[in-house]
A and B are shown apart, each in its own frame.
Chain A
Amino acid sequence: MSEKRIIKYYEAIREAHAESLSQDPSVYVIGLGVPSPTGIFGTTKGLVDEFGDDRVLDMPASEGGMTGVALGSAIAGERPVMVHMRVDFAVLSMETLVNQAAKWHYMYGGKMRAPLTIRMIIGRGWGQGPQHSQSLQAWFAHVPGLKVVMPATASDAKGMLMAAVEDDAPVIVFEHRWLYGISGEVPEGRHVTSLEGAKVMRSGKDVTLAGFSYMSLENMRAAEMLADLGIDAEVIDMRSLTPIDTTTVVNSVQKTGRLIVADTAHTEFGATAEVVASVVEQGFEALKKPPVRVGLPYVPTPTTPALADLYYPRAIDIARAALKLSDNDQTIEDTPPVTPWRDVPDPSFTGPY
């Protein structure tokens, strides 16, 4: 059993679906393109052959109404998983999620439950542009009654999705498209990881790099750059927005005194602000410097790669921020991109998606 089983993030999601479908007959997976031959970037590919078209379903292009249908079926005893290829399409279902699903358990005095899981994919790169790449997780986290999680590893991709399906709350799982190709150790069979709690990915003593989703990866890269310069960064993967685990971050800052928080979204009114505010409230004395937030500039996503390349913060930006925060005047040379533009996760990606 000591043999490590390494699979990709997208394969881990597929496994979570397959496992949930086989362990609980009330689970179904629905969404535009779910049973399609390409299967939501491979995450639902072939499931329809295994589990049948009454459990792995396509749907009309009616995100708003269909979310209500899923909610109704959840109330009636099923455990739906709805998939949106882009967060930007899921906003058509805001009414149902915000007014209904989030409150169903509460507003009927705990008599009803809505065990609904919604996967939303954050796009990035190859000119996804203003309407195919938004990171709107903070919108949902602002609404009491929803659990909002952002798995950043292959293990959590499976473990948190399975946990979401088993959970009685409506859970929104945000997946970043650029995580799909990363690999990690993932157990076979039922694998559930907690929907709450941040995780220390790398321990260090000089600066705390907390991050959400794909930015946890950039934080790890930044930590490597910093290690070369003698700075020992602690990297914390936040994992979920609600509930948010600021204790782990405060504990880290007690040690390092310096905090950088990175998110895939705009910093304004976002999850980074929540983390910073909590650390200031709970661990103010430990801070040696004002915390730094890393996120998207407060503008929509430009389509042209010439501007998109400037739009997304990278590991080097985080590392440089950490240097500055450490009053360290060493410099880091940027490496030229291996592709003509930095708008692809790796060179094998040749568009359009």
Chain B
Amino acid sequence: MTSPSTLENGFPSANTRLALYRDMLRVRLVEEEIIKRYGEQEMRCPTHICIGQEAAPAGVSTHLRREDEVYSAHRSHGHYLSKGASLKGMIAELYGRETGCALGMGGSQHLIDLDAGFMGSAPILASTISVGVGSAWTAKRRGHDKVIVIYFGDGATEEGAFHEAANFAGVNKLPVVFVCENNLYSVHTPLEIRQPNRKISELAGMHGVRGLIGDGNDVDAVWRLAEVAIQDARNGNGPSLIELATYRWKEHCGPNEDQNLGYRSDEEMAEWVEKCPLARYEKILVEENQLSEAIITKFHLEIAQEIDEAFDFAKSSAYPKPEMLSRFVYPEMRESS
């Protein structure tokens, strides 16, 4: 299979780069606000923060159309927001309110925004991978022109369901892009005691899926890889898997740091903070005169206001009414005696 030249050396246009920067900044600021307010104990659900991993969804999502679909897992805030899903809906969901994107039923681990093509996230490892493949299969059977992107972590690739889904996508040349954010850990367990010394992207080829790999903290690189993979999927050339090297900054679940646990070294953390996808990009864009202090300030102000509005919206929304408890379950509930 030939690869478009962009794979080697293309760069996004100046406008796209600004959008990529703004997108990553927005996810970062949203996560920081969640962290700041989590201790108020009003967001009462397990919450997986994606700070440090903002480049993947930004670089992928710029190539996606609204009708393209995204599936995700537990660490999904960035995937959701970058696809253009509702910030208000997400924050209200974390607050357990009736205006939440899942009406408060799901919390942070079950985000959804169908209008934006964010089809759902679920925390059981690898579970949404085959679900997304099923949607891609349907798109192909029905001749729908859409691409399905499925995000997951390195840990999820250890589940059989991942391999079964990839195999099916490969044999049927489905319009799907698997995006594996390899942040080197599954909770506190390092990759090297869970998987042999080979790349996750190398697994793809054996399943008839094109394997790509790159720096998940370099949003230009992500953008390039995603362009290839998404074009292929769109043009009927079959599925790809993009492995993106990245790193989680916060504890596995929750708002805190976890360096005190000692499962990863301060040096390792410092190295990755050095490779911050946002700071790195900001520096490059400023150096290349594509981003000014004035624009940075403007973005910060705009986003801060949007975030304020989202939290105000969430906190002023009502909780679901008691009758909602049994509203959406089959078989439909009768009036109880």
Residues of chain A whose beta carbon lies under 8 Å from any beta carbon of chain B: 32-33, 36-38, 58-65, 88-89, 92, 126-132, 297-300, 302-307, 310-311, 340-341, 343, 350-353
How many B residues touch A, CB cutoff 8 Å? Answer: 49
Closest to B108 in A: A127
Closest to A88 in B: B124
**A300 close to B41 (CB less than 8 A):** no
Q: How far apart are the CA atoms of A37 and B263 in the complex, in Å?
A: 7
**B124 close to A61 (CB less than 8 A):** no
**A299 close to B45 (CB less than 8 A):** no
Write out, one digit per residue, whether chain B residues 4-20 have a CB within 8 A of any chain A CB (1) or not (0): 00000000000000000
Known: A126-B45, A129-B107, A130-B110. A37 touches B189 (CB 8 A): no
**B261 close to A37 (CB less than 8 A):** yes
**A36 close to B44 (CB less than 8 A):** no
B158 within 8 A of A: yes
**B96 close to A304 (CB less than 8 A):** yes
Q: How far apart are the CA atoms of A299 and B336 in the complex, in Å?
A: 13
Q: How far apart are the CA atoms of A297 and B108 in the complex, in Å?
A: 23
Q: How far apart are the CA atoms of A297 and B323 in the complex, in Å?
A: 12
Tell me how far the C-beta of B197 lies from the nearest C-beta in chain A, rounded to whole angstroms: 14
Closest to A349 in B: B41
**B110 close to A353 (CB less than 8 A):** no
Contacts of B188 in A (CB 8 A): 33, 36-38
Q: Ordered nearest first, which 10 A-B pairs have the shortest CB separation? A: A127-B45, A304-B96, A306-B319, A304-B104, A303-B107, A60-B158, A36-B188, A37-B261, A61-B158, A352-B254
**A61 close to B155 (CB less than 8 A):** yes
**A353 close to B44 (CB less than 8 A):** no
Write out, one digit per residue, whether chain B residues 153-178 have a CB within 8 A of any chain A CB (1) or not (0): 00110111100000000000000000
**B189 close to A298 (CB less than 8 A):** no
Q: How far apart are the CA atoms of A132 and B187 in the complex, in Å?
A: 16
**A62 close to B159 (CB less than 8 A):** yes
Tell me how far the C-beta of B107 lies from the nearest C-beta in chain A, rounded to whole angstroms: 4
Known: A64-B160, A132-B123. A341 touches B186 (CB 8 A): no
Contacts of B100 in A (CB 8 A): 304
Contacts of A311 in B (CB 8 A): 325
Known: A61-B186, A350-B41. A307 touches B159 (CB 8 A): no
Which of B109, B124, B253, B325 makes the CB contact (< 8 A) with A89?
Answer: B124
Q: How far apart are the CA atoms of A302 and B107 in the complex, in Å?
A: 9
Q: How far apart are the CA atoms of A36 and B188 in the complex, in Å?
A: 6
**A305 close to B96 (CB less than 8 A):** yes
Q: List 6 A-B contacts (CB under 8 A).
A: A64-B160, A89-B124, A92-B124, A302-B324, A303-B104, A303-B110
B77 within 8 A of A: no
Known: A131-B123, A351-B254, A352-B46. A302 touches B105 (CB 8 A): yes
Q: How far apart are the CA atoms of A60 and B195 in the complex, in Å?
A: 7
**A33 close to B187 (CB less than 8 A):** yes
Contacts of A307 in B (CB 8 A): 104-105, 319-320, 322, 324-325
Q: How far apart are the CA atoms of A61 and B188 in the complex, in Å?
A: 12
**B46 close to A127 (CB less than 8 A):** yes
Write out, one digit per residue, whether chain B residues 131-160 have a CB within 8 A of any chain A CB (1) or not (0): 000000000000000000000000110111
Contacts of B160 in A (CB 8 A): 62, 64-65
Tell me how far the C-beta of A66 lies from the nearest C-beta in chain B, rounded to whole angstroms: 9
**B104 close to A353 (CB less than 8 A):** no
Contacts of A341 in B (CB 8 A): 44
B47 within 8 A of A: yes
Q: How far apart are the CA atoms of A341 and B159 in the complex, in Å?
A: 36
Contacts of B102 in A (CB 8 A): 303
Write out, one digit per residue, whether chain B residues 252-266 have a CB within 8 A of any chain A CB (1) or not (0): 011000000111000
**B46 close to A353 (CB less than 8 A):** yes
B97 within 8 A of A: yes
**B159 close to A304 (CB less than 8 A):** no
Write out, one digit per residue, whether chain B residues 26-68 have a CB within 8 A of any chain A CB (1) or not (0): 0000000000001101001111000000000000000000000
Contacts of A63 in B (CB 8 A): 159
B106 within 8 A of A: yes
Tell me how far the C-beta of B288 lies from the nearest C-beta in chain A, rounded to whole angstroms: 40
Known: A38-B188, A131-B122. A62 touches B158 (CB 8 A): yes
**A129 close to B319 (CB less than 8 A):** no
Write out, one digit per residue, whether chain B residues 76-116 have a CB within 8 A of any chain A CB (1) or not (0): 00000000000000000000110010101111111000000
Contacts of A352 in B (CB 8 A): 45-47, 253-254
Contacts of B38 in A (CB 8 A): 351
Closest to B160 in A: A64
Closest to A62 in B: B158
Contacts of A131 in B (CB 8 A): 109-110, 122-124
Tell me how far the C-beta of B285 lies from the nearest C-beta in chain A, rounded to whole angstroms: 35
B1 within 8 A of A: no
Contacts of A33 in B (CB 8 A): 187-189
Tell me how far the C-beta of A341 lies from the nearest C-beta in chain B, rounded to whole angstroms: 7
Contacts of B187 in A (CB 8 A): 32-33, 36
**A310 close to B322 (CB less than 8 A):** yes
Contacts of B105 in A (CB 8 A): 129-130, 302-304, 307
Tell me how far the C-beta of B157 lies from the nearest C-beta in chain A, rounded to whole angstroms: 8
Contacts of B108 in A (CB 8 A): 127
**B194 close to A60 (CB less than 8 A):** yes
Closest to B254 in A: A352
Contacts of B124 in A (CB 8 A): 88-89, 92, 131
Closest to A37 in B: B261
Q: How far apart are the CA atoms of A126 and B175 in the complex, in Å?
A: 38
Known: A38-B261, A297-B325, A303-B105. A126 touches B46 (CB 8 A): yes
Contacts of A310 in B (CB 8 A): 322, 325
Write out, one digit per residue, whether chain B residues 290-331 have a CB within 8 A of any chain A CB (1) or not (0): 000000000000000000000000000001101011100100
Contacts of B245 in A (CB 8 A): none
Known: A32-B187, A127-B107, A299-B325. A305 touches B158 (CB 8 A): no
Q: How far apart are the CA atoms of A89 and B104 in the complex, in Å?
A: 23
**A351 close to B325 (CB less than 8 A):** no
Q: How far apart are the CA atoms of A300 and B188 in the complex, in Å?
A: 29
